[in-house]
Amino acid sequence: MPEIKKENPKGIHHIPVSKLKPDMHKENMRGLRHVHVAELKPGMYVVDAGITWASRPYLYMKEGLVATEEQARRIADEGYLEAYIDPARSTRDFEVTPFKETFNLERAGEPYLFKPRVPLAEEVSAAAEVHDDTVGYVRNFMDDIRTGKLDMSPAFDFMGKIMESMERNVNAMLSLCRLRRVDSYTYMHCVNVSVFTSMFARYQGMSEKEVLSLGLSGLFHDLGKALIPAQILNAPRKLSPQERLIMNSHPTLGYEQIKDIQGIIPEVPLGMLHHHEKYNGGGYPSSLSGDAISKTGYIIALADVYDALTSRRVYKDGMTPHQALGIMYEEMLGKDLHPELLNKFIKMLGVYPIGSVVEMSDGSWGVVSGCNVNAPIRPVVTLIRDAKGHALPETEVDLSAADARLSIKRCVPAETADIKPAQVLHLPPGVPGHD
C-alpha cells in the first residue's frame, strides 16, 4: 500500500485537521428519549444529541418541534431510523417505546469513508489512464454487440483498477467523472455510472462481490442502446410515440444479451433491466414500483440521473453537482428515486462534490478539493481568490475542522466565477479548464 507523501509538491499550505469532536455530549443526554422514527408524533421536540453522523448514519438530528404527521412520516421516508426527543421541550407527554437495535441488512456494513492514501495530484494521472482505457473498452463492446459478440472478461480487470484508484484517492476518479470531456458522451457516461455505483456499494460496506456486480451493471447498463437504430438513438428532435417505444426497449435489449452468460451474477442483468423503472411506478419497461425493483436498478438510476444532469453536452452546460443533487432531492425523492438510497447517495457525494466552485462566508472563492463523507456540508476547499478578487496562494482549508472559521455561502457554475476547477485540482490536460 502506498505511503502518504509528507512533502507537498504543489506548494499547497495545509491547515491541520483538528481532533474529531467527542461522540456524545453526555451531559446533554440526561432526560432525552431515544426512539425509533416510527414513534415520532406531532408535538415531540427532536434534539441534536451531538452524536457524529459517522457513528450513527441513520440518526435524525435536525433540532425542532415535529409539527405534523406528514413531517414525521417524511423523516421516516428519508431513510432515518432513530431520533432523540426532549420531553421537557415537547408540547405534551408521550408514551414511547425505547429504541431497540434490530437487525437491518442496510446496517450490516459501516459506511466506508474513503480516506485518501495518496495526494490527489499524485493519483490523477493513474486515474485518468484507467478512466480513458475503460471508455475505450465501452466503445469496443458497444460496437461488438451489433455483430453479436461480447467479451465481458476485460470488464473485471477495469473494475478492479477503478476500485484500486478509488482506494488510493477517490477524489481523483470523481473529479475526472465530473470534469473530463471526451468526444462521446455515451461511452464516458457508462464509465461514470459504473464509478458511482461501485463507489456507492463500497461506501455502504457491501461485499466485494456486490461492489463488482454493481460496477459491472453500471458499466453495461446502456448496452441495449447499441442495438437501437442510429436514426432513433441520435434523433435531434422529439421522438414519435412509436420511436419512443423502440428507444424504451433498450433496458430489455441489454438484459437479453447478458442474462444467459454462464457465471453471470444475476444482479448485473437485473440492474440493467430495471434502471429506468421508477420508485412510484410509471417507469419502463415494466412500470414496476417499490420493492419489485431491484436495489441494483435503483442505484444505477441514481448514478444515471446524477451524471446526466451534471454532464456538459453540446446543447447544454452541465448543472453544478450541488444543483443536480438539489433537483434529485426536491423533485425525485420518493417519486422516481428510492428515498433511502437517494439520501445515502447524497451523503456519499457530499452536498458540494469535488470540483464545485464555491464562494465562502468571507467573500473569498475556492474549489472543493476534498469531501468529508461524515460532514457533507463541510468539505475541503482550496482557496484561490480573496473577496476583492486578488489571487491567493493556493490554500487548502478543511471546513470540518473544529477551528474552521469559514463556511460555504454558495456554489456557482465555474464559468460564472471565471474559475477553472481542473487547473486548481491539477488535473491532466484534456480536462476542460486547461484552455
Q: Would you say 276 or 378 has its CB closer to Fe ion? A: 276
Q: How far is the CB of 139 from Fe ion (least distance, A)?
A: 17
The kind and range of the H/E element at 144 are helix 120-144
Site string for Fe ion, 82-121 (x = CB under 5 A): ----------------------------------------
Q: How far is the CB of 222 from Fe ion (least distance, A)?
A: 5
Question: For residue 425, what are the CA distances in angstroms to 171, 319, 366?
Answer: 10, 19, 11
Cα–Cα dist 35/360, whole Å: 37
Dihedral in degrees, nearest 10, Cα atoms 170, 174, 177, 181:
-100
Q: Would you say 39 or 222 has its CB closer to Fe ion? A: 222
Q: Would you say 88 or 230 has its CB closer to Fe ion? A: 230
Q: Would you say 169 or 197 has its CB closer to Fe ion? A: 197
| Piece in contact with Fe ion (CB under 5 A), picked from 49-57, 137-145, 147-155, 215-223 | 215-223
User: DSSP letter at 22?
Assistant: P
| Piece in contact with Fe ion (CB under 5 A), picked from 2-10, 67-75, 216-224, 403-411 | 216-224
Q: How far is the CB of 221 from Fe ion (least distance, A)?
A: 6
Q: How far is the CB of 173 from Fe ion (least distance, A)?
A: 22
Of these, 82, 123, 210, 222, which contacts Fe ion (CB under 5 A)? 222
Q: How far is the CB of 251 from Fe ion (least distance, A)?
A: 6
Q: Would you say 82 or 222 has its CB closer to Fe ion? A: 222
Q: Residue 282, Cβ neighbours under 10 Å: how many?
A: 12
Asked if 122 is part of the footprint of Fe ion (rule: CB under 5 A), the reply reads no
Q: In which region does residue 287 sit, left (phi positive, over 0), alpha (psi from -120 to 50) or beta (all else)?
A: left
Q: Would you say 123 or 222 has its CB closer to Fe ion? A: 222
Cα–Cα dist 86/128, whole Å: 51
Q: Residue 341, Cβ neighbours under 10 Å: how many?
A: 19
Q: How far is the CB of 132 from Fe ion (least distance, A)?
A: 23
CA atoms within 13 A on the CB side of 214: 32
Q: How far is the CB of 176 from Fe ion (least distance, A)?
A: 21
User: DSSP letter at 13?
Assistant: E
Cα–Cα dist 205/106, whole Å: 9
Cα–Cα dist 359/14, whole Å: 19
Beta bridge partners of 284: none
Q: How far is the CB of 247 from Fe ion (least distance, A)?
A: 9
**Which residue's Cβ has the minimum distance to Fe ion?**
222
Q: How far is the CB of 245 from Fe ion (least distance, A)?
A: 15
Q: Would you say 222 or 307 has its CB closer to Fe ion? A: 222
| Piece in contact with Fe ion (CB under 5 A), picked from 218-226, 232-240, 331-339, 396-404 | 218-226
- The three-state secondary structure class of 383 is strand
- The three-state secondary structure class of 277 is coil
| Piece in contact with Fe ion (CB under 5 A), picked from 18-26, 219-227, 258-266, 382-390 | 219-227
| Piece in contact with Fe ion (CB under 5 A), picked from 125-133, 193-201, 222-230, 313-321 | 222-230
End-to-end CA distance of the chain: 35
Q: Would you say 336 or 396 has its CB closer to Fe ion? A: 336
Cα–Cα dist 314/308, whole Å: 13
- In 3D space, the residue among 169, 150, 222, 166 whose CA is nearest the CA of residue 193 turns out to be 222
Q: Would you say 222 or 396 has its CB closer to Fe ion? A: 222
- The three-state secondary structure class of 367 is strand
Question: For residue 400, what are the CA distances in angstroms to 360, 364, 375?
Answer: 14, 18, 6
* Total residues in contact with Fe ion, by rule CB under 5 A: 1
Which residues bind to Fe ion, rule: CB under 5 A?
222
